[in-house]
Amino acid sequence: MYTANRKRLQKLTDCTSKASKHFNRYEIECLIKLFYTLLEETAEKQSSIGIDRNAFRNFLHTTFGMTDDMIMDRVFRAFDKDNDGFVNVTEWISGLCIFLRGNLEERTKYCFEVYDLNGDGFISREEMFHMLKNSLLKQPSEEDPDEGIKDLVDITLKKMDHDHDGKLSFADYETSVKEEALLLEAFGPCLPDTKLLKKLFNPKKKVPKGTMRHHS
């Protein structure tokens, strides 16, 4: 069973608190406890490196109601900075800092990374098509749904492709988001719902505002 004894927990909290600008010490301790709870769900019990993809996706689904497999996989990759297939405790805290409390600049970089499916620095027409097809509700229709999605991609490019090269660079995306904040999640929800955040961060018991309760 993976647990953090009090000394280790305090040391981890102290180290992480210095690097975190969005969480206070108490909040970080709660998130570290949650990390060890999720670590118990990790399939590869022989390794205590971090939370694996399945446990992380389960966390996104049960806590934030995410259902898009492609987006959840990309969120995992955005957290897993060293690409070792696990989210370690440092990646967990730094990722949640942006995921839960990031400013617009931080969230813009994060969302672009999620949407850049092949990591080449651009969101291509093909990537837009896959993400929009994946995230839109499938409705029965006589018309070819793919044609409707292609039209939507064309409209999106017309609005966001500022240098008119047929794909979105980070500069294109950032400019578009600054002009219209709703475009931040243009290709699928990859940030937590604000209503769910209120439930998480405003529990009935009086604890410091902005904290996440840990259930053992």
Higher pLDDT, 205 or 29: 29
For a pLDDT cut of 70, what percent of the chain falls above it? 74
DSSP reduced 3-state for 202: coil
pLDDT at 207: 37
Distances (CA, A) of 205 to 25, 33, 63, 215: 19, 18, 19, 13
Domains and CATH numbers, the chain: 7-102 (1.10.238.10), 105-183 (1.10.238.10)
pLDDT at 140: 57
pLDDT in tens, 76-118: 999 999 999 999 999 999 999 999 999 999 999 999 999 999 9
Q: How many C-alpha atoms does 182 have within 13 Å on its Cβ side?
A: 2
Gyration radius (Cα) of the chain, Å: 19
Distances (CA, A) of 99 to 69, 162, 209, 216: 17, 27, 17, 23
Question: What is the rounded average pLDDT of the residues 46-50?
Answer: 69
pLDDT at 205: 42
* Amino acid at site 28: I
pTM of the model: 0.81
DSSP reduced 3-state for 161: coil
Sequence-ordered list of residues with C-beta below 8 angstroms from that of 11, at least 6 positions apart, any chain: none
Using the 8-state DSSP alphabet, how is residue 9 labeled? Answer: H
Question: What is the rounded average pLDDT of the residues 41-55?
Answer: 74
DSSP reduced 3-state for 27: helix
* Site of tokens 């709870």: 37
Residue 185 pLDDT greater than 60, yes or no: yes
Average pLDDT for the chain: 83
Residue 128 pLDDT greater than 90, yes or no: yes
Q: At what angle do helices 25-39 and 89-101 cross, to 10 degrees?
A: 120
Question: What is the rounded average pLDDT of the residues 38-43?
Answer: 75
